[in-house]
Amino acid sequence: MTVQKVKQKQIARAVNINTGKAISRRALLQGAGAALALPMLDAMTPAFANTSAPIHRFQTVYIPNGMAMEYWTPEKTGRDYELTPVLAPLSNYKDKMRLIGGLKANWNIAHAGAGGSFLTGITRGGRTEVEILADISIDQLLANELGKETQLSSLELSMDAPALAGACTVNLSCVYTHTLSWRGKTEPLPTEYNPRSLFERMFGDSGSTAKESRELRLRQQSSILDAVMDKLSSLEQELGYEDRHLVNSYTESVRNIERRIQKAEEQIDMDLPELEQPEGVPPVFEDHMEIMQDLQVLALQTDLTRVITFMMSKEQSPRPYPQIGVPDAHHPLSHHNNNPVLIERMSKINTYHVSLFSNYLDKLSAIPEGDGNLLDNMTILYGGGLSNSTVHSGVNLPLILVGGGAGWLKGGEYVFYDNEPTMADLHLSLMEKFGLSIDQMGGSTGPITL
């Protein structure tokens, strides 16, 4: 079906309001590698009849191997700062982003500390290849609360295959370079990089996002759970105290799945973009990035989750970027020994990552929500755990907060903190914006003023 025919079909549905059912404000026209939001239509009006507080979402977009800081850092702070070469692709979003300078990593040991402490704020991790130690990360703290209202508490995504075993940087576990998210001190969460697997997690092995496929999936899940709960009820009557305790823990897991199904049933009438189940990992980096971004937008706009971490690449990534004229492997290039020629070459990778991020912001901004768009109701932390990578510096990290924060985040400013607060201090402040008050996190000393 051509894009024109899809558009005609979608508009025909929108103007046929005899049933009295409002068209979803999230309806899109889906084409190859693009999603076009419908304009505000009369048929959508009932959806806004009972407006409520906006849904506030949190996302991290992580970039690895440090930054060409000379090409990132503006010359002056405040609202009159000028976008630097690396930040230039974000020119359309300057009024929705707050550039942050002066923060430092809590755990600074090469690439392990960069990834391991970015969201956890830990002051130390494991000391050997097999010692895996951190603490709960900000995304999981938020997921514990925000996930009560969604089918999926969080998504942990990457552009690289996960590796949670073996030694990577300075002979420490590869877990520190391959994930940002930790459910607890010894519970790193693996990332998903395969679009097909991500789709199946979101919608099941249903082939598409069509309503009929989702209904079939829900019926199958419900019937399985009904059978399990019947058996559990019978079993509990025959067990001793300890066994009942174990069964109760399992029952809680089942109830959590039931809650997710209930949320899915509430959303079953939602109009979704028609997206076919991906076949796997596209061989072309840009194609892979495009579909991973599309799936993230879909997860957020349909309220499948309100928390996402996305690693644009892992720490120590050797990926070259010949498509932008940089055939060098990224990680070796990042150890540039302050050579101006190599720094300039590395800045091209940094700029390219920012341009890909800008494309993602375009997608979020194209989704109407309330009186604005999806980006208005998000707080996105973009950045990395290293600044000058040639010395593995964890001082003055490259960071941006982007979005509207559901009302709290005011952009258009570059703020530099002279007292060197840490990432953990930033996380305390961010959690407050979500109504979550935490006294201590990792190596935090107290929230900073945002």
pLDDT band of 219, cuts 50, 70, 90 = low
The pLDDT value given to residue 331: 97
Residues 5 and 111 in one domain: no
Residues 335 and 417 in one domain: yes
Residues 74 and 45 in one domain: no
Rg of the Cα atoms in the chain? 23
pLDDT at 42 over 70: no
Asked if residue 256 belongs to a domain, the reply is: no
The pLDDT value given to residue 151: 86
Encode 412-437 in three state secondary structure: CEEEECCCCCEHHHHHHHHHHHCCCC
Residues 121 and 77 in one domain: yes
Integer Cα distance of 59 and 383 in angstroms: 11
The pLDDT value given to residue 19: 43
What CATH number did the domain enclosing 309 receive?
3.40.720
CB hemisphere CA count around 90 (13 angstroms): 29
Residues 9 and 113 in one domain: no
Structural domain total, the chain: 2
Asked if residue 238 belongs to a domain, the reply is: no
Residues 25 and 128 in one domain: no
Residues 11 and 126 in one domain: no
pLDDT band of 216, cuts 50, 70, 90 = low
Residues 166 and 297 in one domain: yes
The pLDDT value given to residue 237: 65
User: How high is the mean pLDDT of the chain?
Assistant: 83
Residues 11 and 72 in one domain: no
Angle between helices 138-146 and 423-433 (to 10 degrees): 10
Asked if residue 259 belongs to a domain, the reply is: no
Ramachandran angles phi, psi of 135, nearest 5°: -165, 170
Instruction: Please answer whether residues 440 and 139 qualify as being in contact, where contact means their C-beta atoms are separated by less than 8 angstroms.
Output: no
Integer Cα distance of 138 and 424 in angstroms: 9
Asked if residue 231 belongs to a domain, the reply is: no
Integer Cα distance of 149 and 151 in angstroms: 7
Integer Cα distance of 282 and 308 in angstroms: 21
Residues 178 and 300 in one domain: yes
The pLDDT value given to residue 231: 64
Residues 68 and 108 in one domain: yes
Low-confidence winner among 176-185, 198-207, 284-293 (lowest mean pLDDT): 198-207
CA 203 to chain centre: 18
Integer Cα distance of 207 and 215 in angstroms: 13
Residues 28 and 133 in one domain: no
Last residue of a domain, one of 34, 51, 68: 51
Last residue of a domain, one of 29, 51, 73: 51
Whole-prediction pTM: 0.78
Q: What is the residue range of 32's domain?
A: 1-51
